[in-house]
Amino acid sequence: MAIGIEALLLVGLGGSIGACLRYLVSGTVPLLKGLPTGTLLVNVIGSTILSTLTFLSEPYASFHLINIGILGSFTTFSTFAYESFKLLEEGRTALFVSNITLNLLLCLSGVYIGQQITSLI
């Protein structure tokens, strides 16, 4: 599969936008009793938007820009994994479990919400 220059540029542009949005959102949301809520928030927002666009099941020109570029760099699974590991390493087991549980349940809820939004369209 050949990657076109236009698609590559759209992914790059979207990636820089998503990275900046991630920095702004996760950097401004305070910890909630030690829980990294900024990362949780971007993961939930990203899951909801990505699933809404995907469940629309219609091809659109902005796929590379939005899905791969913006949302790919906006969501933060690697940060989530690192922050979870640090909580465990620091002996904060309750926060470790809470962080994993909330990310999993809320992001799956975001996917469900995205699917429900598309059924209304």
Query: Cβ contacts of residue 14 below 8 Å, gap of 6+?
Result: 64, 65, 66, 68, 69, 70, 71, 72, 73
How many angstroms separate the first and last alpha carbons of the chain? 33
Q: Which of 108, 121, 116, 118 is nearest to 44 (CA)?
A: 108
Q: Which helix (H) or strand (E) holds 16?
A: helix 5-28
- Residue 75 among known ligand-binding residues: yes
86: its two tokens = 């640090």
Residue ranges of the binding site for Na(+): 72, 75
Residue ranges of the binding site: 72, 75
